[in-house]
Amino acid sequence: MQFRYPPWTNKIRYVIAAAVIGGGAYVTTVITFGFSPWATDVGYRPEQPVPFSHAIHAGQLGMDCRYCHQTVERAAHAAIPSTETCMGCHTRVHTESPKLEPVRKSWDTGEPVSWVRVHDLPDYAYFNHSAHVSKGVGCASCHGRIDKMEVVHQDQPLSMGWCLECHRNPEPHLRPKDKVTQMDWTPNDNPHGTVDNTDLATVAPPQDCSACHR
């Protein structure tokens, strides 16, 4: 006796085709967006050994970023403040605060505080802080309103596409060089509506691969 499949099995091929196409689209979407820096990196805020508040130091006290990150204008990396920098104030301010115990211990032993990096680019990507600061790119463009952060977090994805958007059109991110660390600066603060002391003709960010992948 010859065996015959029931008529409804004819639809299986369409169900399988739809599942393959739909599944492929789903996986692609998940990988594209679920693993993007917007999903995995933005908002990253590691716990630090000392509960340092940028909202107090940079916000309420108005401390300039360069007081702590001293190399940002002349080096590729923005230096993490040394214990000596911290103790420049805290030998007189909050000298008994338990929150500052790791800093006092570092001061006594010479061992640096184990700060955790927040903005950590891949090793294959080269970034130079001084090149950006010297052209008038404000700290807030990449780091957000640090002066309002009780705990620092990554504000932008720092992805290749995000960087290229700025390199292709840098003007919206440029400001007078003496306002680079002023977090609340806006283009409206400039009476002429332009970046007076930034020669836009000299701002030509590279877009070739070797600029960042060396």
pLDDT at 8 over 80: no
For 92-147, the pLDDT digits (tens) are 999 999 999 999 999 999 999 999 999 988 899 999 999 999 999 999 999 999 99
Q: Per residue in 56-96, pLDDT tens?
A: 999 999 999 999 999 999 999 999 999 999 999 999 999 99
- Domain range summary for the chain, segments of one domain joined by +: 73-78+120-211
Predicted TM-score of the model (pTM): 0.77
Tell me which long-range contacts 70-77 makes (C-beta under 8 A, separation of at least 24).
Answer: 71/129, 71/130, 72/129, 72/130, 72/133, 73/129, 73/130, 73/133, 73/134, 74/130, 75/129, 75/130, 76/126, 76/127, 76/128, 76/129, 76/130, 76/131, 77/129
Q: Residue 137 is inside which H or E element, if any?
A: none
CA distances from 132 to 25, 101, 137 (A): 39, 35, 5
- List the structure tokens of 187: 């283009």
Q: Under a CB-based contact definition with an 8 Å cutoff, are residues 77 and 133 in contact?
A: no
Q: How far apart are CA 197 and CA 192, in angstroms?
A: 11
Q: Is the pLDDT of residue 197 over 60?
A: no
